[in-house]
């Protein structure tokens, strides 16, 4: 049986702090090798361009060793860039080498840190020793044993892993990237659930039946009713379960973009990585029998003579083959939105008239969302369903498709085209929003906000972004007046002002919106004063609603609905839940609700077969 240890869990996780903060120090290096005469002792700094904003790398050197790396002031994303900085800093200091691989899933941040350390070493006198030294040796094992193997360490996978551990199972999580969290990490964290305790305080009338109907109808009545019922009936239990393992939610609910209802729960600290950090803390603090094997991509499912799944074979990035023996496997690998060839192949649904090639980005981390889990399940006999149901999101960044900077969700914002005209209800469903955007000049638009959303340029929004950093990266346009904003963006100033005036009239109730936007007098306010900010957006592939066919037990099933023995699936890699359009806030609800379900049922199955 594989050894479960604190070290093995921390490997590759966001809990590894910056090397400087941990006080990591290396032993003395070898002096004199290759003419190396040592460093000039001291602290050196270098400015590098990160993924989110420029940051400073500070490195201390003794005569013969790199002693400390500190990049704690970076604004890289929690659980992604920040995690990579901690993991990579540790590796550099421990190995006294720059021959350390970038953390899969955070390549830009990794490259920036490595460049910063190299620049500091050059200032200290010599880079040859760090460049010549061998990198760290990976300590992944050839074989692991567990009761449940979870393939994928995102939100759904970690929920399944914890749920399985709570049911008494020993769990191994096989994760392709060097960071945990997947798409949940970079989401805004919205989770839909009917929650009388919160909603009644806000005067919100809601019911589980209303939530069910909104989900089914929002998916154009193409979702599987029993799966939709399971999702909406058990969503609040997911909120309570997450709170029991350390997640803190805000006291008030909101409405995610395209949620079709005010029932979206948000974490108390910025975005979806708050869930991942809470899950990691829970595993660490409780000693839950969950081991993470990261940087390892699952290749095939192992089956016995009867066709039952009995494990997973994977490939570590070092080239080593890794096998996990387990009587139950949960696939939680996310969708296929970043697999351009595959998404074009199956794009016969709502977006069949849109070419989803690499000109259309994806909100997911590119090494993820490749559809790996679908191929694994299909190879074991599971059916796939709803593959043409691909969702686009209106909050894409031009060129990458990532959801960054000023977000489209929330309140007190308007959407205008390149001329300055409003063209859609900001509260419309996501497919309606994207169709309206494609009809605009150059298939793009601006989201415009003002001081209501950003009272201070240095105060982070709920996603951890600041106006100051967005401006430093030249991702947004800022102006004191609407006239100046129009000039900076190329909009017609009269049209932009008319759009703002019309929006304000809708908010104060003196005018009905021609596009159907309904103001909320508890959340919306008139936008009247600068500073004003505009961020250009494009549609981007956000979610693939199709995937592995499952039943309400989260078992993967074949075309006839027969379960594949030992195989479970949850999260975005599954199909049949959301129909042809997913409501904003329903993805994380899905991950947590079916993740808990898959983990518990997989553990029970493993126990029954032991």
Q: Quick one: pLDDT at residue 262? A: 95
Q: Quick one: pLDDT at residue 610? A: 65
354 domain-assigned: no
pLDDT digits (tens, 9 = 90+) for 124-141: 998 998 999 988 888 899
* Together in a domain, 294 and 174: yes
Give yes or no for a cis peptide into 534 (omega within 30° of 0). no
* Together in a domain, 491 and 407: yes
Let me know how many helices (H) and strands (E) the chain has, helices first: 18, 23
Q: Count up the domains in the chain and report the number.
A: 3
- Among 482, 511, 539, the domain-final residue is 539
Q: Please report, for the domain that includes residue 110, its CATH number.
A: 3.90.1010.20
pLDDT digits (tens, 9 = 90+) for 311-352: 999 999 999 999 999 999 999 999 999 999 999 999 998 899
* Together in a domain, 416 and 459: yes
What does pLDDT average to over the chain? Answer: 90
* Together in a domain, 521 and 597: no
Is beta strand 532-544 parallel, antiparallel or unpaired with respect to 445-450? antiparallel
* Together in a domain, 383 and 468: no
6 domain-assigned: no
pLDDT digits (tens, 9 = 90+) for 33-91: 456 779 999 999 999 988 888 899 999 999 999 989 999 988 888 788 898 999 999 99
Q: Quick one: pLDDT at residue 4? A: 31
CB atoms within 10 A of CB 73: 11
SS3 assignment, position 540: strand
Q: At a CB cut-off of 8 Å and minimum separation 6, what does 592 contact?
A: 155, 156, 159, 191, 238, 241, 242
CB atoms within 10 A of CB 319: 7
Phi, psi of 264 (to 5 degrees): -85, 120
* Together in a domain, 519 and 564: no
- Closest among 77, 601, 603 to 289, alpha carbons compared: 603
Cα dihedral sign for 327, 330, 333, 337? Answer: positive
* Together in a domain, 531 and 425: yes
- Closest among 359, 307, 312 to 333, alpha carbons compared: 312
* Together in a domain, 408 and 555: no
Q: Is the entire prediction scored with pTM above 0.85? A: no
Least confident of 155-169, 243-257, 288-302, 453-467: 453-467
Segments forming the whole domain that contains residue 48: 38-132
* Together in a domain, 180 and 314: yes
Q: Which residue has the tokens 């129009």?
A: 486
pLDDT at 156 over 90: yes
Q: At a CB cut-off of 8 Å and minimum separation 6, what does 575 contact?
A: 384, 385, 386, 387, 389, 545, 546, 547, 548, 549, 550
- Contact present, 181 and 272 (Cβ < 8 Å): yes
* Together in a domain, 177 and 64: no
* Together in a domain, 299 and 178: yes
Which alpha helices (DSSP H) does 448-545 contain, by range? 467-472, 482-489, 493-507
Q: Quick one: pLDDT at residue 5? A: 32
pLDDT digits (tens, 9 = 90+) for 549-607: 999 999 999 999 999 999 999 999 999 999 998 999 999 999 999 999 999 999 999 99
Distance (Å, rounded) from C-alpha 498 to C-alpha 435? Answer: 23
Distance (Å, rounded) from C-alpha 157 to C-alpha 592? Answer: 9
SS3 assignment, position 24: coil
Query: 430 an active-site residue?
Result: yes
103 domain-assigned: yes
Q: Which two tokens stand for residue 531?
A: 């500073």
Phi, psi of 188 (to 5 degrees): -80, -10
pLDDT digits (tens, 9 = 90+) for 189-209: 999 999 999 999 999 999 999
198 domain-assigned: no
327 domain-assigned: yes
CA atoms within 13 A on the CB side of 277: 22
CB atoms within 10 A of CB 488: 13
- Contact present, 61 and 40 (Cβ < 8 Å): yes
Query: How far out from the chain centre does Cα 600 lie?
Result: 24
pLDDT at 20 over 80: no
Q: Which two tokens stand for residue 517?
A: 């936007």
Greater model confidence, 9 or 277: 277
- Closest among 408, 405, 544 to 476, alpha carbons compared: 405
26 domain-assigned: no
Q: Please report, for the domain that includes residue 565, its CATH number.
A: 3.50.50.60
Q: Please report, for the domain that includes residue 460, its CATH number.
A: 3.90.700.10
Q: Which residues are 557's β-sheet partners?
A: 563
- Among 498, 524, 539, the domain-final residue is 539
- Among 508, 539, 570, the domain-final residue is 539
Cα dihedral sign for 545, 234, 228, 426? Answer: negative
Mean pLDDT throughout 465-488?
A: 93
243 domain-assigned: no
Q: Which residue has the tokens 């074949």?
A: 558
482 domain-assigned: yes
CB atoms within 10 A of CB 589: 27
Active-site residue, from 411, 430, 453, 596: 430
State the pLDDT confidence band at 444, using cuts at 50, 70 and 90: very high
Greater model confidence, 213 or 15: 213
Mean pLDDT throughout 364-372?
A: 85
Least confident of 23-32, 145-154, 534-543: 23-32
* Together in a domain, 520 and 551: no
Distance (Å, rounded) from C-alpha 138 to C-alpha 120? Answer: 26
Which alpha helices (DSSP H) does 11-168 contain, by range? 19-22, 81-95, 107-123, 128-132, 155-166
pLDDT digits (tens, 9 = 90+) for 382-421: 999 999 999 999 999 998 888 889 998 888 999 999 999 9
Query: How far out from the chain centre does Cα 192 lie?
Result: 17
Going by the DSSP 8-state scheme, the letter that residue 96 receives in this structure is: T
């Amino acid at each position: 049986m594989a050894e479960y240890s604190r070290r093995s869990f921390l490997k590759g996780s966001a809990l590894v702090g910056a090397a400087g903060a941990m006080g990591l120090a290396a032993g003395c290096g070898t002096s004199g090798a290759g003419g190396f005469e040592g460093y000039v002792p001291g602290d050196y700094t270098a400015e590098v361009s990160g993924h989110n904003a420029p940051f400073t790398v500070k490195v201390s050197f003794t005569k013969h060793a790199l002693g400390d790396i500190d990049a704690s002031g970076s604004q890289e994303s929690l659980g992604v860039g920040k995690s990579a900085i901690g993991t990579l800093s540790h590796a550099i200091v421990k190995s006294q080498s720059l021959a350390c691989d970038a953390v899969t899933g955070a390549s830009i941040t990794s490259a920036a840190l490595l460049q910063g350390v190299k620049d500091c070493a050059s200032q200290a006198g010599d880079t040859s020793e760090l460049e010549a030294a061998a990198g760290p040796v990976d300590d992944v094992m050839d074989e692991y044993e567990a009761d449940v193997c979870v393939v994928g360490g995102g939100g759904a996978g970690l929920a399944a892993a914890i749920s399985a551990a709570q049911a008494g199972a020993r769990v191994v999580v096989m994760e392709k990237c060097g960071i945990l969290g997947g798409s949940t990490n970079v989401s805004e964290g919205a989770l839909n659930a009917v929650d009388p305790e919160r909603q009644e305080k806000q005067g919100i009338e809601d019911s589980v039946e209303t939530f069910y109907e909104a989900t089914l109808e929002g998916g154009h009545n193409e979702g599987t009713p029993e799966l939709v019922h399971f999702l909406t009936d058990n969503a609040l239990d997911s909120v309570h379960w997450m709170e029991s393992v350390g997640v803190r939610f805000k006291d008030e609910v909101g409405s995610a973009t395209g949620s079709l209802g005010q029932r979206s729960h948000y974490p108390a600290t910025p975005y979806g990585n708050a869930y991942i950090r809470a899950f990691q803390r829970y595993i660490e603090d409780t000693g839950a029998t969950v081991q993470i094997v990261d940087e390892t991509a699952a290749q095939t499912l192992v089956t016995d003579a009867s066709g039952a799944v009995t494990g997973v074979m994977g490939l570590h990035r070092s080239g080593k083959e890794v096998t996990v023996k387990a009587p139950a496997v949960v696939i939680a690998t996310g969708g296929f939105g970043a697999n351009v060839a595959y998404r074009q192949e199956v794009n016969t649904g709502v977006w069949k008239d849109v070419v989803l090639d690499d000109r259309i980005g994806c909100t997911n981390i590119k090494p993820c969302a490749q559809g790996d889990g679908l191929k694994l399940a299909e190879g074991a006999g599971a059916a796939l369903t709803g593959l043409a149901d691909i969702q686009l999101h209106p909050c894409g960044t031009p060129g990458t498709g990532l959801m960054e900077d000023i977000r489209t969700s929330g309140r007190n914002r308007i959407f205008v085209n390149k001329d300055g005209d409003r063209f859609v209800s900001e509260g419309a469903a996501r497919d309606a929003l994207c169709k309206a955007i494609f009809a605009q000049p150059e298939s793009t638009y601006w989201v415009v906000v003002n001081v209501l959303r950003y009272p201070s340029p240095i105060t982070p929004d709920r996603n951890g972004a600041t106006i100051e950093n967005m401006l430093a990266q030249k991702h947004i346009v800022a102006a004191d007046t609407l006239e100046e904003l129009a000039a900076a963006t190329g909009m017609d100033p009269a049209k932009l002002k008319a759009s703002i005036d019309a929006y304000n009239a809708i908010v104060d109730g003196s005018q009905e919106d021609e596009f159907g936007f309904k103001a909320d007098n508890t959340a919306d306010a008139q936008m009247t004063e600068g500073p004003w900010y505009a961020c250009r957006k494009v549609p981007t592939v956000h979610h693939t609603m199709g995937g592995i066919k499952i039943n309400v037990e989260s078992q993967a099933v074949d075309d006839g609905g027969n379960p594949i023995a030992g195989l479970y699936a949850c999260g975005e890699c599954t199909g049949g839940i959301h129909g042809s359009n997913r409501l904003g806030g329903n993805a994380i609800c899905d991950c947590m609700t079916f993740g808990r379900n898959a983990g518990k049922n997989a553990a029970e199955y493993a126990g029954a077969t032991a």
